[in-house]
Chain A
Amino acid sequence: MNAANGSTGSGKRVVVAGYGPAAHRLAETLRGRGFAGPITMLGEEPRSAYDRVALTSYLDGKTAEDLTYPVPAGITPRLGARVTGIDRQARLVTTEDGHAEPYDVLVLATGSSAFVPPVPGRDLPGCFVYRTIDDLDAIREAARGASSGIVVGGGLLGLEAAEALRGLGLATHVVEMGPWLMPRQVDEGGGVVLRRHIEALGLSVHTGAGVAEIQPGPDGRVARLVKPDGEAVEAQIVVFSAGVRPRDELARRAGLAVGERGGVVVDEGMRTGDPSIYAIGECALAAGTVYGLAGPCFTQAEVAADRIMGGTASFTGADVSTKLKLLGVDVASFGSLDGGLDVTFMDPVGGVYKKLFVSDDARTLLGGICVGDAEPYAALRPLVGRELPASPTELLFAGTAAISADLPDDAQVCSCNNVTTGRVRQAIAEEGLTDVQGVKRCTRAGTTCGSCVPMLRQILVSSGVDVGKAMCEHFPHSRAELYDIVRVRGITTFSQLVAEHGTGRGCGVCKPAVASILASLGGGHILDGEQAALQDTNDHFLANIQRNGTYSVVPRIPGGEITPEKLIVIGEVARDFGLYTKITGGQRIDLLGARVEQLPAIWKRLVDAGFESGHAYGKALRTVKSCVGSTWCRYGVQDSVGLAIALELRYRGLRSPHKLKSAVSGCARECAEARSKDFGVIATEQGWNLYVGGNGGFKPRHADLLAADVPTGELIRIIDRFLMFYIRTADRLQRTAAWVESLDGGLDYLREVIVEDSLGICAELEDQMERHAAYYADEWRATIEDPDKLRRFVSFVNAPGVPDPSISFETERDQIKPVLIPLEVTRS
């Protein structure tokens, strides 16, 4: 580390008192901007910073780990270490456990504590606050023996706590001192609608009600809450959520200024009266306000980080707009909630209340409130203080879908992270972003509460990005569009396609997809020329990679029919190369454990014996399974084996958006399980029934009947069209099951196109399949006959004969089994 480098703040020891979200954002910002000095976080809780906005989800099955932020690299967290004193002269902080930590810069990020009104009984067992994971653990524990609970406080946090109690199965009451719920965010009209929503969920709401006393039962625990009017509400749990108080006691004791109603006084740079001490988050009194929302606290952390590194950023107040879903009800407020004129939309039946505040001339938006439908929030919040794009009535009745994309550059789109529309547009243009994920990564917009994500998508669209279809950052097209481009323009290489229609040099998503498109349009051998570089490792080595880096070999056995001589060859090859053998579900034999350099020799033996590639490695036709059929089976009505072999030989090598499986059953008993296949055929007395779009796998789906009782020639023509239409129009890695379901009009539409020829393309589809069948050549034979292609089949280019020393096997049930290499990376 170079201590002389002042711009990165090297050498400064930063100590943060508190380790909550604001402290986390500070450390993350410092490290992200290259701050090189040591950063120590002194956290009171036994865990590192977690997302408090999502606290309630902890009771819904999220774990503490789910909520915990990743610890930024190179920071030292000391947990369970509450700071008890600051020695400003010696620049030392002391912690509860007696440790003393020297600092050059101290940041107070001690947060807030729940305000508990001074009522009798407030300390009884059964009384809780709602601030930390430990609080939630305690509430959950107490709820086990309880039937009802009361939340004191009907604001934002109170309703969150009420949601939690209800989720724990308690009859839940909300006691709010103010005349309506959420008095800080909504007006009376909104409060009425909100109350109706909440009461409809079975909660009891007591507004205009304080707490006189909390009384114990005979066991000494909470038994009831008594209101000032004398009414008693029975409950075994009381959660105080009536506001928070800044935790400024450290600053007070250290002689730093605090506000009249609490909060450490800081300047625009988040610095206290002591130039070495900053305060951020809910403990700080910044721009005259103690902010309790995540967005402003994050901004404060970023400002403090900038100042620590010698910058001049300032915090002069923040938007306190809020949008949240409480107890399933959307509640949002933004801008100023009074003044000028207001226009109200109220639908008591639908439980919707929307109100806009506008200037006296009804042209400038001042603020708004939404309850039950927060749709206007995302679009209108950035327009506060600006001219309205339509009349308030139109906006409230007709919605805001049309206006959002025209936001001016300085309008804030994400208030949590203070990101403007202009910043998002700039990032899209400069970084070539093509999706919301990229915008989030580059700008942080949408990463906290997520309410602006629809806006981000709109800005992408208005910036000319087609978000819905883009395959990856290199092509703004869907696979189907790329297929059409390649087909119509006669493009034959990836380089030409990406130069004319994309950017960069591709990735693991677009390259194999383009390789598949080129192959299905008759691109020759998949390892010819530039095409070789597009193939994933399976297609590149014409074998399936396994978990230890070896490959499997699957020769084609059409229809599952094989002679004893060929069976013996497979056995001999497996024995001679020491391979593991297994019968697959597709009626063939898998040979596993082959090293890259063994593949050509293995295939030489197989090809010489009359085998060919089974394409088990490709997004291509795999097998056509069959039952034994009418030739042998006493129930069979057609020759299912003969048809399966004919189909497998016709479609072998056909590259497609995903793998293709098929089967033919010789009677309705369906022993070949044809209805679980992409295209399955079942014999009838009169011909064949064709089923399409079946799937086993992750999401099983029975195939749908596309054509009934068709003769063999007609059957093959319909399958030709079906497969080519799928290849033309499906998305990358979309199996036929999902493709059929995604078609607008579904199976009926598919039948119109490929049976009734409504688009007039059937002849073209059949021609294309005819060409495929005519030009098919075995990839493995072509490879072993080509010295250039064979050169790739080595583990090490500088030691072609040396096997990969990382691959080893042990024995299990008389066959080999990979010895797996231990991992240091654990995957969650």
Chain B
Amino acid sequence: MSVDLRDPARPPGAGQTWVQVCSYTDLLPERGACVLVGSLQIALFRTFEGRLHAIGNRDPFSGAYVLARGIVGTRGEEPTVASPMHQQAFSLVTGECLDDPAVAVPVYPVRVADGVVEVGVA
């Protein structure tokens, strides 16, 4: 299987810098892990296909910083994580809550360079 680890849909934004956070192999397939970038908590996810996604770790429904510990899956074509608190599903691509469109978490650009995962932060 050929896997494109760089997500072409998400170029680094203007004024953003790439920060190295961990090794790609630190991430387990279909599981999240949290990284601390400055005071930001960013939840990283590695999907079954090997693609990476980065969203805010804070669950907006409970206020707890736990989204990295949710179950990764899909809804239709959309890769998702379910909040471990009350199971609301969030899109890993847009950060939107698929069960409550009024709610969203931030998304961050993420890429792999030489086996090192980098996230784009302002």
Using CB atoms and an 8 Å cutoff, list the residues of chain A in contact with chain B: 70, 431-432, 473-474, 495, 504-508, 510-512, 530, 532-534, 536-538, 540-541, 545, 547-549, 792, 795-799, 802, 804-807, 820-825, 827
Q: In the complex where A432-B76, A549-B64, A795-B34 touch, is A533 in contact with B29 (Cβ < 8 A)?
A: yes
Chain A positions within 8 Å of B76 at CB level: 431-432, 473, 504
Contact of B109 with A by CB under 8 A: no
Decide: A507 near B80, CB < 8 A? Known: A533-B31, A822-B63: yes
Chain B residues with CB under 8 Å of A795's CB are: 34, 36
Residues of A within 8 Å of B61, CB to CB, are 823, 825, 827
Residues of A within 8 A of B82 (CB): 507-508
CA distance A537 to B59 in the complex (A): 14
Q: Does B95 sit within 8 A of A, measured CB to CB?
A: no
Q: Is B39 an interface residue (CB 8 A)?
A: yes
The reply to whether A545 and B85 contact each other, CB–CB distance below 8 Å, is yes
Say yes or no: B48 contacts A505, CB within 8 Å: yes
Q: Is the CB of B22 within 8 A of A507?
A: no
Q: Which of A504, A537, A797 contacts B74 (CB 8 A)?
A: A504
Residues of B within 8 A of A804 (CB): 41, 65
Choose among A511, A540, A823 the residue that contacts B60 (Cβ–Cβ < 8 A): A823
Closest-by-CB residue of B relative to A821 is B63
**CB of A214 to closest CB in B, whole Å:** 48
Q: Knowing A545-B85, A796-B34, say if A508 contacts B70 (CB, 8 Å).
A: yes
For residue A822, which residues in chain B have a CB less than 8 angstroms away from its CB? 63
Q: How does the 8 Å CB contact mask read for B37-56 relative to A, with 1 for contact and 0 for none? A: 10101001001100000000
Smallest Cβ distance from B43 to chain A, in angstroms? 11
* B35 in contact with A798 (CB, 8 Å): yes
Once the chains bind, are A508 and B87 in contact (CB under 8 Å)? yes
Known: A821-B63, A825-B60. A533 touches B72 (CB 8 A): yes
From residue 52 to 90 of chain B, which have CB atoms closer than 8 A to chain A? 58, 60-66, 69-76, 79-80, 82, 84-85, 87, 89
Residue of B nearest to A791 (CB): B26
Given contacts A508-B89, A537-B70, A825-B103, contact A798 B65 (CB under 8 A): no
Q: Which B1-46 residues have a C-beta within 8 angstroms of A?
A: 21-22, 26-31, 33-37, 39, 41, 44
Whether A473 pairs with B65 at a CB distance below 8 angstroms is no
Q: Are B21 and A821 in contact (CB under 8 A)?
A: no
Q: List B contacts of A807 (CB < 8 A).
A: 65
> Nearest chain A CB to B58's CB is how many angstroms away?
8
B28 partner residues in chain A, CB cutoff 8 A = 532-533, 792
Name the residue in B41, B47, B73 with the highest tally of chain A Cβ atoms < 10 Å from its Cβ: B73
Known: A549-B66, A792-B28. 15 other contacts (CB 8 A): A432-B76, A473-B75, A504-B75, A506-B71, A507-B75, A508-B89, A537-B66, A547-B85, A549-B64, A549-B65, A798-B35, A798-B36, A823-B60, A823-B63, A825-B61
CB distance from B73 to the nearest CB of A (A): 4
Minimum distance in angstroms from A773 CB to a CB of chain B: 30
A802 touches B36 (CB 8 A): yes
Contact B64 A511 (CB under 8 A): no
Number of interface residues of B (CB under 8 A): 43
In the bound assembly, the distance between CA atoms of A823 and B35 in angstroms comes to 22
Residues of B within 8 A of A504 (CB): 73-76
Looking at the complex, which one of B21, B63, B65, B73 makes contact with A507 (CB distance below 8 Å)? B73
A-B contact count (CB 8 A): 112
What 6 A-B pairs are tightest by C-beta distance, nearest first? A508-B82, A537-B84, A821-B63, A507-B73, A549-B64, A504-B74
Complex interface: chain B residues within 8 A of A796 (CB): 34-36, 41
**Of all chain B residues, which has the CB nearest A549?**
B64
Cβ-defined contact, B71 with A507, below 8 A: yes
Q: Is the CB of B89 within 8 A of A507?
A: yes
Measured in the bound complex, the distance between the Cα atoms of B61 and A792 in whole Å is: 25
| C-alpha spacing A798/B40, complex, angstroms | 12
- Asked if B69 contacts A537 (CB within 8 A), the reply is yes
- B34 in contact with A797 (CB, 8 Å): yes
> A821 vs B72: C-alpha distance in the bound complex, in angstroms?
25
Chain B's nearest CB lies how many Å from the CB of A197?
41
Residues of A within 8 A of B34 (CB): 795-797
- Distance in Å from the Cβ of B116 to the closest Cβ of chain A? 11
CB of B76 to closest CB in A, whole Å: 6
Q: List 27 A-B contacts (CB under 8 A).
A: A70-B102, A473-B75, A474-B73, A504-B75, A505-B30, A505-B72, A505-B74, A506-B73, A506-B74, A507-B71, A507-B80, A507-B89, A508-B71, A508-B82, A508-B89, A510-B73, A511-B73, A532-B31, A533-B31, A538-B84, A547-B64, A795-B34, A822-B63, A823-B60, A823-B61, A823-B63, A825-B61
Cross-chain contact B64 with A806 (CB below 8 angstroms)? yes
Q: How far is the CB of A510 from chain B (nearest CB, A)?
A: 8
A619 to chain B, nearest CB (A): 14
Q: How many Å lie between the Cα of A473 and that of B76 in the bound state?
A: 8
- Expressed in whole angstroms, the minimum distance between the Cβ of A71 and any Cβ of chain B is 10
Q: CA A75 – CA B33 in complex, angstroms? A: 38
**How far in angstroms is the closest Cβ of chain B from A545?**
6
CB of A797 within 8 A of CB of B85, answer no
A799–B63 touching, CB < 8 Å: no
Residues of A contacting B33 in the complex (Cβ-Cβ under 8 angstroms): 797
* Complex interface: chain B residues within 8 A of A802 (CB): 36
Q: How far is the CA of A505 from the CA of B71 in the complex (A)?
A: 11
Closest CB-CB distance, B42 to chain A, in whole Å? 9
**B71 & A512 in contact (Cβ 8 Å cutoff):** yes
With both beta carbons as reference points, the residue of chain A lying nearest to B47 in the complex is identified as: A505
Known: A505-B30, A821-B63. A541 touches B69 (CB 8 A): yes
* CA of A549 to CA of B41, assembled, Å: 13
List of B residues within 8 angstroms of A805 by Cβ? 39
Which chain B residues border A431 with CB–CB below 8 Å? 76
A549–B63 alpha-carbon span in the complex (Å): 9
Query: Cβ of A824 and Cβ of B60 under 8 Å apart?
Result: yes
Indicate the member of A432, A798, A823 with the most B CB atoms within 10 Å. Answer: A798
B22 touches A798 (CB 8 A): yes
- Closest Cβ of chain A to B69, distance in Å, is 4
Chain A contacts for B87, CB-based, 8 A: 508
Asked if residues A536 and B64 are in contact (CB atoms below 8 Å), the reply is no
A536 to B70, CA, bound (A): 7
Cα-based distance from A507 to B89 in the complex (angstroms): 9
The residues of A that contact B39 with a CB separation of less than 8 Å are 805
Contacts of B72 in A (CB 8 A): 505, 533
CB distance from B108 to the nearest CB of A (A): 14
Tell whether, in the assembled complex, residue B63 and residue A505 are in contact, meaning their CB atoms are under 8 Å apart. Answer: no
Residue of B22, B64, B76 with highest tally of chain A CB at under 10 A: B64
Q: How far is the CA of A310 from the CA of B68 in the complex (A)?
A: 44
A473 to B74, CA, bound (A): 9
Q: A505-B47, A797-B26 are in contact. Are A806 and B65 (CB under 8 A)?
A: yes
Q: Across the interface, which residues of A come within 8 angstroms of B31, CB to CB? A: 532-533
The distance in angstroms between the C-alpha atoms of A795 and B58, with both chains bound, is: 13
